[in-house]
Amino acid sequence: MKRSPIFLLLALCALFVTSCKDDEVPPEENEQETITNVTLTFTPDGGGTAVKATWVDADGNGAGKPVLSDITLAANTTYTMDISITNLIDPQNPENTTDEIDKEKNDHMFFFGWTNGLFTSPTGDGNIGKGFRDDPINYGDSVDDKGLPLGLETTWTTGAAATGTFQVILKHQPDGIKSATSDTTSGESDVDVTWNMTVQ
Amino acid sequence: MRRPVLVAFLLIVATSAIHAQSAQPATKDSCQHHFEGYIRDLSTRQPLPFATVQIENTNQGAVADEQGHFSFTNLCQNEFDVVVSSVGYKQAVHHHDPYHETPNIFLASDSITLQSVTVEGKSQPGQLFSGTVESLSSAEINNYHAQNLGDLASNLTGVSMVSTGQNVVKPMIHGLTSNRILIINNGVRHEFQSWGQEHAPEIDVSTVDNISVVKGAATVRYGPEALGGVLLINPPAMELRTDWQGKANLIGKSNGRSGEGSIQLQKGYRRIALLAQAAYTSQGDLHAPDYILSNTGKRESSLSMGTRYHYRSLDFSAYFSHFAQNLGILRGSITGNLEDLANALESKQPQPTSSFTYAINNPHQEVQHDMVKLNGKWNGQNQSVDVQYAFQNNQRQEYDVRRGENNARPAIDLTLATHTLDMEWKHPELLAWQGSVGLQLLYQDNNNRPGTNTIPFVPNFNNSRLGVYWIESKLLGATRLEAGIRYDYQFSSIRGRSYDNSIYRNEISYQNMTATLGLVREVKKGHVFRTNIGTAWRPPNISELYSYGKHQASIEYGLWRYSTNENNEITTTNVLNQHDKAVPSEVGIKWIGTYELTTGKVQSEVTGYVNYIRNYIYTKPAGITQTIRGAFPFFIYDQDDAVFAGVDASIRLAHTASTSSALQGSFLWAKDVTNNENFVGLPPMQLQYKFSQQLPKFAFFNGANWGFAVNYTFLQFQTPRTITVREILEANKNNTPLFAEDNNDFDVLPAPSGYLLAQASWSGRIDHFELGLQVRNIFNKAYRNYTDRLRYFADETGRNFIVSVNYSF
Helices (H), B244-314: none
Phi, then psi, of B160 in degrees rounded to 5: -125, -175
pLDDT (0 to 100) of residue B8:
43
Picking from B173, B204, B231, the residue at the C-terminal end of a domain is B231
Cβ contact (<8 Å) for B573 and A64?
Answer: yes
Residues B359 and B491 in one domain: yes
Judge whether B22 lies within some domain.
no
Residues B237 and B217 in one domain: no
> What residues of chain A lie within 8 A of the CB of B550, using their CB?
61
Domain tally, chain B: 3
Spatial contact of B440 and B466, defined as CB atoms under 8 Å apart: yes
Task: Report in angstroms the alpha-carbon separations of B729 from A164, B487, B525, B553, B735.
Answer: 19, 50, 64, 16, 10
Residues B661 and B797 in one domain: yes
Spatial contact of B595 and B617, defined as CB atoms under 8 Å apart: no
Judge whether B220 lies within some domain.
yes
Instruction: Tell me the CATH number at A90.
Output: 2.70.50
Instruction: Tell me the CATH number at B191.
Output: 2.170.130.10
A33 → closest Cβ in B331, B402, B443: B402
Shortest distance, CA B625 to any CA of chain A (angstroms): 6
Task: Report in angstroms the alpha-carbon separations of A77 from A47, A80, B68.
Answer: 11, 10, 99
> What residues of chain B lie within 8 A of the CB of A24, using their CB?
447, 460, 495
* Structural domain range at position B137: 133-231
Residues B496 and B602 in one domain: yes
Query: What are residue A73's DSSP bridge partners?
Result: A199
Q: Among residues B575, B628, B630, which one has the least CA distance to residue A34?
A: B628
Cβ contact (<8 Å) for A189 and B441?
Answer: no
Helix, strand or coil for residue B624?
Answer: strand
Chain B, 521-580: which have a CB under 8 Å from a chain A CB? 548-550, 555, 557, 562, 570-573
> What residues of chain B lie within 8 A of the CB of A186, using their CB?
351-352
Cβ contact (<8 Å) for A10 and B13?
Answer: yes
Shortest distance, CA A65 to any CA of chain B (angstroms): 6
Residues B265 and B156 in one domain: no
Alpha-carbon dihedral angle through residues B63, B68, B69, B70, given to the nearest 10 degrees: 20
Residues B559 and B608 in one domain: yes
pLDDT (0 to 100) of residue A12:
52
* Structural domain range at position A109: 31-199
Cβ contact (<8 Å) for B499 and A60?
Answer: yes
Is the ipTM reported for this complex over the cut 0.85? no
A-chain residue closest to B569, CA distance: A63
B-chain residue closest to A190, CA distance: B629
Residue B262 to residue B284: CA distance in whole angstroms: 18
Judge whether B587 lies within some domain.
yes
Long-range contacts of range B66-70, CB-CB < 8 Å, 24 or more positions apart? B67/B38, B68/B38, B68/B39, B68/B40, B69/B36, B69/B37, B69/B38, B70/B36, B70/B37, B70/B38, B70/B39
Shortest distance, CA B337 to any CA of chain A (angstroms): 6
Contacts of B304 (CB under 8 A, 6+ apart): B207, B235, B275, B276, B277, B278, B319, B320, B321, B322
Shortest distance, CA B379 to any CA of chain A (angstroms): 12
Residues B237 and B224 in one domain: no
Judge whether B127 lies within some domain.
no
Cβ contact (<8 Å) for B403 and A190?
Answer: yes
Domain tally, chain A: 1
Cβ contact (<8 Å) for A29 and B376?
Answer: no
Ranges in chain B, pLDDT < 70:
1-30, 43-45, 98-101, 111-129, 217, 552-553
Judge whether A7 lies within some domain.
no
> What residues of chain A lie within 8 A of the CB of B354, using their CB?
175-176
CB pairs under 8 A between A and B: 198
Cβ contact (<8 Å) for B627 and A57?
Answer: yes
Residues B359 and B425 in one domain: yes
Q: Among residues B112, B108, B694, B501, which one has the least CA distance to residue A34?
A: B501
Residue A95 to residue B541: CA distance in whole angstroms: 34
Judge whether A15 lies within some domain.
no
> How large is the average pLDDT for residues A60-67?
77
Shortest distance, CA A47 to any CA of chain B (angstroms): 31
pLDDT (0 to 100) of residue B123:
47
Strand-by-strand arrangement of the B133-136 sheet: B133-136, B210-214, B229-234, B181-185, B188-189
Cβ contact (<8 Å) for A21 and B445?
Answer: no
Q: Does A96 touch chain B (CB under 8 A)?
A: no
Instruction: Tell me the CATH number at B97.
Output: 2.60.40.1120
Phi, then psi, of B778 in degrees rounded to 5: -50, -45
Judge whether A91 lies within some domain.
yes
B571 → closest Cβ in A38, A63, A90: A63
C-beta neighbour count of B543 within 10 angstroms? 23
Residue type, A131: G
Chain A, 13-32: which have a CB under 8 Å from a chain B CB? 13-14, 16-17, 19, 21-32
Helix, strand or coil for residue B206?
Answer: helix
Cis peptide before A122 (omega within 30 of 0): yes
Instruction: Kindly report the three-state secondary structure assignment for every residue of B76-104.
Output: CCCCEEEEEECCCECCEEEEECCCCEEEE
> What residues of chain A lie within 8 A of the CB of B454, using their CB?
29, 31-33
Q: Among residues B401, B261, B277, which one has the least CA distance to residue B328?
A: B401
Spatial contact of A101 and A160, defined as CB atoms under 8 Å apart: no
Cβ contact (<8 Å) for B497 and A25?
Answer: yes
Q: Does A181 touch chain B (CB under 8 A)?
A: no
Q: Does B359 touch chain A (CB under 8 A)?
A: no
Chain A, 113-172: which have a CB under 8 Å from a chain B CB? 130, 169, 172
Q: Does B423 touch chain A (CB under 8 A)?
A: yes
Optimal mutation site among A192, A193, A194, interface B, most CBs of chain B within 10 A? A192
Cβ contact (<8 Å) for A59 and B623?
Answer: no
Residues B52 and B137 in one domain: no
Cβ contact (<8 Å) for B343 and A185?
Answer: yes
Residues B483 and B341 in one domain: yes
pTM for this one? 0.85
Cβ contact (<8 Å) for A192 and B550?
Answer: no
Q: Among residues B654, B603, B655, B657, which one has the least CA distance to residue B44?
A: B657
Q: Does A39 touch chain B (CB under 8 A)?
A: no
pLDDT higher for B78 or A188?
A188
Shortest distance, CA A122 to any CA of chain B (angstroms): 24
Optimal mutation site among A189, A190, A191, A193, interface B, most CBs of chain B within 10 A? A189
Residues B402 and B491 in one domain: yes
Chain B, 14-53: which have a CB under 8 Å from a chain A CB? 14, 17-18, 20-21, 24
A16 → closest Cβ in B441, B449, B570: B441
Residue type, B103: P
> What residues of chain A lie within 8 A of the CB of B419, using their CB?
16
Residues B191 and B334 in one domain: no
Spatial contact of B467 and B485, defined as CB atoms under 8 Å apart: no
* pLDDT, tens only, A22-54: 778 888 887 767 788 899 999 998 888 899 988
